[in-house]
Amino acid sequence: MRRIAGFFLTLVAGSALAVESVMPLDDVAVDVFDKESLRRGAVTYANYCQGCHSLKHLRYSRMAHDLKLEEGVLERDFLRGQAKLQDSMLSAMHAADAERWFGVAPPDLSLIARSRHPDWIYSYLRGFYLDPSRPNGVDNAFFRQVAMPDVFASLQGAQRPVIKKGGGVEAIVGLKHVNQGALPPEEFDGMVADLVNFLVYAAEPAQLDRLRIGKYVIVVLIVLAFVLYRLKQEYWKDIA
């Protein structure tokens, strides 16, 4: 209970400080029917996120079916260690170890795209900047005093905050690269967008069926409404 309370206190404190930032959220295009994007995002999650964060509500088998993953790709990129096809996508890190290293256990990401807007997740993942006063050497423009390290630092490159002072208040108005990462900015942004797209899918895998079937249901309802309207006209024709 104390661990959960500690996490939410950290979340509330970080959110309160993030209000002081005047940086707008960046827009990200989400399309859960883009299977290539989902596959790329899934690989990014497995390589950079799953070490700490689980997706306990998503099974490897469901992901493999929805994303049309070949067996060889699944075994190479996802089924590591003792993981099996029917298992949930869990992190190998123990919560006690994570709390000792980071001060708080990393949250499960199954529903992150429902509790946070995709634009916020996209901005947050690209919003780390150098801060020597923090334990991990970084802070985040959208989640101040964040406990998470910058896992994409080698790909994005280091950033420093652009601070504007006025009325005795300092506010972060932007971020500026200190050095270039391994990926060009456009390619890095695309990688993060794919990851966000995958997290949106992971929050509700059934939406692939719901959205696909939904348009046909609407068409059927429109046709049914038209038939019922004509039937009503026939019934009331003689009465009128």
pLDDT tens, residue by residue, 82-101:
899 999 999 988 888 878 88
- Higher-confidence residue of 107 and 16: namely 107
Counting every residue written for the chain, the total comes to 240
Flag whether pLDDT at 134 surpasses 50: yes
9: its two tokens: 């206190």
String of DSSP letters for 85-154: TTSEE--SS-HHHHHHHHSSPPPP-TTHHHHS-HHHHHHHHT-EEE-TTSTTSEEETTSTT--S--TTHH
Q: Which residue has the tokens 């661990």?
A: 3
Cα separation, 224 vs 157, whole angstroms: 57
Token reading at 149 = 């390290």
Q: What is the mean pLDDT of the chain?
A: 88
CATH, domain range 2-205:
1.10.760.10
pLDDT computed for residue 10 by the predictor: 46
Q: Is the pLDDT of residue 75 over 80?
A: yes
pTM of the model: 0.81
How many alpha carbons lie under 13 Å from residue 236 in its C-beta half-sphere?
A: 6
The helix (run of H) or strand (run of E) holding residue 70 is none
Tell whether the model's pLDDT for residue 48 goes beyond 70: yes
Per-domain boundaries in the chain: 2-205, 213-240
In which band, very low, low, confident or very high, does the pLDDT at 240 lie, cut at 50, 70 and 90? Answer: low
Q: How far apart are CA 113 and CA 200, in angstroms?
A: 5
Give residue 15's pLDDT: 42
Q: Which residues contact 206 (CB under 8 A, 6 or more apart)?
A: none
Binding residues: 49, 52-53
- Per the annotation, where are the binding residues for heme c? 49, 52-53
d(CA 198, CA 208): 12
- Go through 185-203 and write b for each residue having 16 or more CB atoms within 10 A of its CB, e for each that does not: eeebbebbbbbbbbbbbbb
